[in-house]
Amino acid sequence: MTKLKTDLLIIGAGSGGLSVAAGAVQMGASVILLEAHKMGGDCLNFGCVPSKALIASGKAAYAQSHASVYGVADVTPKVDYAAAKDHVADVIEQIKPVDSQERFEAMGVRVIREYGRFISPKEVQAGEFVITARRIVIATGSSPLVPPIPGLENVPYETNETIFELRDKPGHLLVIGGGPIGMEMAQAHRRLGCEVTVIEGMKALGNDDPEMAAVVLERFAAEGIEIAEDAMAAEIRGKLGAIEVEAKDGRVFKGTHLLMAVGRAANIDKLDTEKAGIETTRRGIKVDAGMRSTNRRVYAIGDVAGGLQFTHMAGYHAGLIIRSALLGLPAKERTSHIPWATYTDPELAHVGLTEEGARKEHGGNLEVVRFPYSHNDRAIAERKTEGLIKVMVVRGRPVGASIAGAQAGELINLWAFILANNLKMKHVANMVAPYPTLGEINKRVAGAYFSPKLFDSPMVKRVVRFVQGWLP
């Protein structure tokens, strides 16, 4: 056994772990980083990056078959599914160097390619090393949750860890799980020429505001994606090429391939957390508002901390750790300004409180304003008029914003900025947006908030009449 000592030990080199490592080493701390599998974690290898790359392939195919509306003949796209996967692999290759062992070692981080597991409250074993650290950060992420549905053990299935390497195009993809991951993959595959059925135990996109989710669901139906809701998978049978999923109510769905996308399980199994006095819950490592575990020397960030599971959340957590563990400053997690987006077409994006949440929290003080894409000139020009923005406002201050429509993930950035800085609707109204951009919907929704106050106000009318009376 080789003993090592360091200021900061980070377990897991995904979005969260890499961000902490880069920040900490550049600020002068000694850092050891453990990674048992691929540098870059889920986001680079099995998550955000490959999924967005495959979605881009789907978009390219869809554009070919839906061009006549622009005066360009529709053609049936010749999809080469394996080549689309080459494109996905190439995109990963391009981004990979940023997360590579070489880059982090060049920064001064000691990278050890082993699993880390606690052997005491202060020590972690990784292969032949026993590491003691002033502070330890668990950033081990999550894995696909695969529930024990009867029969599944005998049927081949894909998860997000395998689907991007599948090279034979599924004839009919069955997707169990209608959350963001399942829905993104469903649409990408449909557009690449597969039949697709989404089997969802409750409601598809059920974590989103139903009014916004409906925009996406309508498009899915138009594209021929079958969505079976309230269909809890009870039994799975068959073999590759002929798979059947039977729901509790007796409905049977038939397909050639199966993708399991029912949720995520925190990666805590291999950590031996009990040896370090670190409590866990069903969702992951139990942490306080400062991301500290029940062992004061150990923090947990990103997916394994059991909160919002996004790359930008892990990055945000990393910033908190730098403040707290390195600079000794107070750091408290806040989620009211964290946006998220689902990259279906149309996209869904959200930040802050949903309408339902805002109503519960603010009751009669809540005003909800909407503006539809169909009144945006750029959206009309590009024939992308489905969708809307809605903003939840309390006494002039937005407390949440939801967008369903083209580029929603880009457009939500403004509202993430507004909420992060506690700004008001007047700040959005003061902005001049270039014409014609989709971004004008942000300004127009602020206009929709102020218009009734301005145009329906007897006081404003009186002032105008008074001023007009004085003008020569």
| Helix or strand run (H / E) with residue 215 | helix 210-222
Does the annotation list 15 as a binding residue? no
Does the annotation list 116 as a binding residue? yes
Does the annotation list 183 as a binding residue? yes
For ligand FAD, give the closer residue by CB, 116 or 398. Answer: 116
Does the annotation list 182 as a binding residue? yes
CB of 468 to ligand FAD, least distance (A): 53
CB of 161 to ligand FAD, least distance (A): 8
Q: Are 399 and 353 in contact (CB under 8 A)?
A: yes
Backbone torsion region of residue 422, taken as left when φ is above 0, otherwise alpha when ψ lies between -120 and 50, otherwise beta: left
| Helix or strand run (H / E) with residue 340 | strand 339-342
Q: Are 260 and 160 in contact (CB under 8 A)?
A: no
For ligand FAD, give the closer residue by CB, 15 or 354. Answer: 15
Tokens of 398: 């937005």
Does the annotation list 151 as a binding residue? no
Which string of DSSP letters, residue by residue, matches 250-299? Answer: S-EEEESEEEE-S-EEES-GGG-GGGGT--B-SSSB---TTSB-SSTTEE
For ligand FAD, give the closer residue by CB, 56 or 429. Answer: 56
Does the annotation list 333 as a binding residue? no
Q: In what order do the strands lie in the sheet with 339-342?
A: 339-342, 347-352, 397-405, 387-394, 366-372
CB of 43 to ligand FAD, least distance (A): 4
CB of 302 to ligand FAD, least distance (A): 2
DSSP state of 307: S
**CA distances (Å), 291 to each of 136, 221, 453, in order?**
12, 41, 43
For ligand FAD, give the closer residue by CB, 146 or 423. Answer: 146
Does the annotation list 374 as a binding residue? no
| Alpha carbon distance 220, 201 (integer Å) | 18
Contacts of 297 (CB under 8 A, 6+ apart): 121, 122, 133, 134, 135, 136
175 bridge partner residues: 198, 259
Does the annotation list 303 as a binding residue? yes
For ligand FAD, give the closer residue by CB, 50 or 400. Answer: 50
Q: Are 51 and 184 in contact (CB under 8 A)?
A: yes
| Alpha carbon distance 285, 299 (integer Å) | 9
Kindly report the backbone phi and psi dihedral angles of residue 108, in degrees, each rounded to the nearest multiple of 5, phi listed first. Answer: 110, 5
* Residue reference for tokens 């014409």: 435
For ligand FAD, give the closer residue by CB, 16 or 346. Answer: 16
Tell me the residue number closest to ligand FAD, measured at CB.
14
For ligand FAD, give the closer residue by CB, 43 or 412. Answer: 43
For ligand FAD, give the closer residue by CB, 277 or 436. Answer: 277
CB of 50 to ligand FAD, least distance (A): 7
CB of 155 to ligand FAD, least distance (A): 21
CB of 398 to ligand FAD, least distance (A): 22
Does the annotation list 184 as a binding residue? yes
320 bridge partner residues: none
CB of 140 to ligand FAD, least distance (A): 3
Does the annotation list 123 as a binding residue? no
Does the annotation list 178 as a binding residue? yes
CB of 51 to ligand FAD, least distance (A): 4
Find the radius of gyration of the CA atoms of the chain: 25
Does the annotation list 142 as a binding residue? yes
233 bridge partner residues: 247
For ligand FAD, give the closer residue by CB, 141 or 255. Answer: 141
Q: Are 450 and 429 in contact (CB under 8 A)?
A: yes
- Which stretches of the chain bind ligand FAD, using CB under 6 A? 11-17, 34-38, 41-43, 46-48, 51, 115-116, 139-141, 160, 181, 267, 270-271, 302-304, 309-312, 314, 343
For Cα atoms 83, 86, 87, give the angle at the middle one, nearest 5 degrees. 95
* Residue reference for tokens 């599924």: 170
SS3 185: helix
CB of 270 to ligand FAD, least distance (A): 4
For ligand FAD, give the closer residue by CB, 119 or 433. Answer: 119
Question: Which residues fall in the annotated binding site for FAD?
Answer: 52, 116, 140-142, 303
- Known binding residues for NAD(+) are 177-184, 200, 263
Residue list for the binding site: 52, 116, 140-142, 177-184, 200, 263, 303
